[in-house]
């Protein structure tokens, strides 16, 4: 009898754990977001859209299109358009705008709420450059 109780408790705990980690990705809304990025002093440098097309477990995929507003040459490859990948952890989202270029990419790190996510963008280049700023993405 004790062994059945232990198995029941273990299965219940595992079910609760997996359901709770899946809840964030299931509640994360698919679709289009208007996107704005700002440099470190708060000036608008990018304007465009993000589209989240797939959530698989806690991993996301989609695409983006962003135009350069202030001719920001030190903001990394966040202008033009491309494919994005990322992950969701608790109430945070991590998005790589350039997943096919591990030596020169822009990462978005933000907090999720029901209609938007916002946080910091970071540019990483292997050799010399890096920069950061903030962003906001609002559901369209």
pTM of the model as a whole:
0.76
Give the largest Cα separation in the chain, rounded: 71
Structural domains in the chain, sorted by start: 2-139 (2.40.128.120)
- pLDDT confidence of residue 17: 45
> Pseudo-torsion of CA 65, 70, 75, 77, nearest 10°?
30
- pLDDT confidence of residue 111: 93
Which mean pLDDT values do the consecutive 10-residue runs of the chain (140 residues) have? 52 48 53 93 94 85 93 85 92 92 91 89 80 92
* CB of 89 closer than 8 Å to CB of 115: no
Helix (H, G, I), strand (E, B) or coil at 123: strand
Q: Which residue bears the tokens 């010399």?
A: 128
């Amino acid at each position: 009898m004790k062994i059945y109780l232990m198995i029941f408790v273990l299965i219940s705990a595992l079910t609760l754990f997996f359901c709770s980690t899946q809840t964030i990705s299931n509640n994360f809304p698919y679709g289009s977001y208007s996107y704005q990025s700002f440099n470190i002093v708060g000036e608008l440098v990018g304007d465009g859209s993000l589209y989240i097309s797939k959530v698989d477990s806690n991993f996301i995929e989609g695409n983006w299109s962003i135009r350069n507003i202030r001719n920001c040459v030190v903001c990394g490859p966040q202008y033009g358009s491309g494919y994005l990948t990322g992950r969701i952890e608790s109430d945070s989202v991590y998005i790589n705008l350039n997943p096919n270029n591990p030596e020169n990419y822009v990462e978005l790190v933000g907090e999720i709420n029901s209609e938007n996510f916002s946080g910091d963008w970071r540019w990483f280049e292997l050799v010399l450059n890096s920069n950061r700023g903030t962003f906001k993405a609002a559901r369209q």
